[in-house]
Amino acid sequence: MDDPSFTIFPIGYIKRINNEVYIEILEKFIPALKQLEHFSHVQVLWWADKVDNEKSRERLDCIPPYGENPPNTGVFATRAEYRPNPIALTTVKILEIHHKDGRVRIQNIDALDETPVIDLKAYFPVCDRVKEPHIPEWIVGWPEWLPEEGLGL
- Binding of residue 100 to a copy of itself (CB under 8 A): no
CB of 20 to a copy of itself, least distance (A): 20
* Using rule CB under 8 A, residue 145 touches a copy of itself: yes
61 binds a copy of itself (CB under 8 A): yes
CA atoms within 13 A on the CB side of 110: 16
Q: 112 and 153 in contact (C-beta within 8 Å)?
A: yes
Asked if 65 is part of the footprint of a copy of itself (rule: CB under 8 A), the reply reads: no
- Residue 68 one-letter amino acid: E
Give the one residue of 71, 96, 101, 112 binding a copy of itself; rule: CB under 8 A: 71
Task: Give the ranges where 14-139 is alpha helix by DSSP (H).
Answer: 54-57, 125-128
d(Cα 95, Cα 106) in Å, to the nearest integer?
5
In the list 34, 53, 101, 153, the residue contacting a copy of itself (rule: CB under 8 A) is 34
Closest Cα partner for 59 from 81, 30, 29, 28? 81
What DSSP string runs through 10-31? Answer: -SEEEEEETTEEEEEE-GGGGG
96 is a site residue for a copy of itself (CB under 8 A): no
| 49: phi then psi, degrees, rounded to nearest 5 | -65, -20
Q: How many residues bind a copy of itself (CB under 8 A)?
A: 73
Using the rule CB under 8 A, is 33 a contact of a copy of itself? yes
Among 21, 22, 81, 83, binds a copy of itself (CB under 8 A): 83
CB of 103 to a copy of itself, least distance (A): 13
Residue list 109-138, contact with a copy of itself (CB under 8 A): 116, 118-137
153 binds a copy of itself (CB under 8 A): no
